[in-house]
Amino acid sequence: MRLLKDKHSSFIAAAALAALALGCTPTNPDSGNGNSTTTTTSTSGGAKRPATTAPGNKITGDTILIGLVASQNGDLRPWGVDSVNGAQLAVDEVNKAGGINGKKVELRIGDSASKPEQGKSACEKLISDGVVGVLGEVASGITAQMAQAAYEKGVPDIAIGATRVDLTDIGNNVFRVCYTDDFQGPVMANFAYKELGRRNMALMTDKKQPYSTGLSASFRDTFTKLGGKIVDEQFYESGQTQFTAQLTQLKAKNPDGIFCSGYFNEVGPIARQTREAGMTNDAVKLLGGDGWDSSQILETGGEAIIGGYFCNHYNGQEKRPEVQDFLSKWKEKYPSNPVPATTMGALAYDAAMLMCDALKRAKTPDSQGLRDAIADTENFKGVTGTITLKGNNGNPPKRAIVVELTKDGQRFAKAYEPSEVVR
């Protein structure tokens, strides 16, 4: 998701330095052994997850404090608003049912203002206020900074919609409730090749956003593996509004589709200018990732974006009881905004509910007990799908949904389980 240095900004060097400073020894910190020995564990990519040794916070009194970092201001405010609403809906539901072990849950909110450094400061403030766990963010660049702060203090962090693959490598206290970019890129490549019959795709990549460059790369790898051809890749930068030069170059290569791997802020104008350049919707289909997920894309893209497809985590048209129950609760609590503007409301609800569920299962009333319980989560039935964190190093293997943009919002097109996707 869009930010000034990425949805998805670099932090691995900082994590590596932290790991070296702690002098990690190799055991499995996700086993919930409860000790404070510094350890590491392998992620799916082979990297090590250093185990935090900081004490975290304890639960005291009759209230359990949990924190949320969200973009209440800045370019990502639509996602921030939905994140706050989703998390608050979950906390209110838990409290209405009696709280956790007789204690009420209080949600403290920090504003990242769509900036990584402010996200880190907001997280640090929440931890100093005594929260035992934090939720957020959507943008991976912001998440990387706040997760680093949480790691240093020994407080678990559950990311809402941050999909950059290596985010959880920062430490064994970092988790997410969403899929990762090394899944959604292949999903869209499979959809383009097998469902839409596209064979000659072009890429439009935001070179300032590691989220975008990584997603384009994973799409390219799978699309070519399937037998398709990437005829061209053009680059732009976040904040850019004119794309005529890039689209002129793409048009000359006669693509039958364009994978736009950036964020909704730029994708809308790209769509308009694509059609203005003479590349029609039928001849040149537009596709993208979850960075498209905002109602604003329909405002900025207009008719030009209608008929485009992107990968998403959730769709309100699903008949699963978890989805319909969530929508009923949302409409009751937020009648002026009866349907979540984006998926982030559903993901934030899942993240908050999972944290509350883990608080009930925690063996000790503190951040470490909460971390161990989160790491031990299996088959949690969320609105956005079933979430299993145990044995997955913070990254739940989840299905992805392809949706089509219509004038009324998003139409469910196809769901993909991890086992169904050629990568």
The confidence score (pLDDT) of residue 319 equals 87
pLDDT in tens, 63-97: 999 999 999 999 889 899 999 999 999 999 999 99
Place of tokens 């196809």: 414
**Whole-number pLDDT of residue 47:** 52
Let me know if the fold of 12-179+322-392 is the same as that of 182-312+401-420.
yes
Q: State phi, psi for 107 to the nearest 5 degrees.
A: -95, 115
DSSP 280-349: -TTTSEEEE-GGG-STHHHHHHGGGTTT-EEEES--TT---HHHHHHHHHHHHH-TTS-S-SSTHHHHHH
> pLDDT at position 141, please?
87
- Residue 340's pLDDT is 64
Cα–Cα distance for residue pair 345/281, rounded to 1 Å = 30
Mean pLDDT of all residues in the chain? 88
pLDDT at 211: 83
pTM of the model: 0.85
List the domain boundaries for the chain: 12-179+322-392, 182-312+401-420
How far lies 284's CA from each of 2, 19, 202, 259, 335, in Å?
Answer: 25, 47, 10, 10, 39
**Shortest CA distance to 267 belongs to which of 63, 62, 2?**
2
Tell me the CATH architecture of domain 182-312+401-420. Answer: 3-Layer(aba) Sandwich (3.40)
Q: Crossing angle, helix 77-96 and helix 344-361, to 10 degrees?
A: 40
Q: Would you identify the CATH topology of the domain 12-179+322-392? A: Rossmann fold (3.40.50)
Alpha-carbon distance of 88 to 84, in angstroms, equals 6
In 3-state terms the chain splits into helix, strand, coil percentages (rounded to 5) of 40, 20, 40
Query: Which sign, positive or negative, has the C-alpha torsion 193, 309, 262, 352?
Result: negative
The 10s digit of each residue's pLDDT in 161-177 is 999 889 999 999 999 99
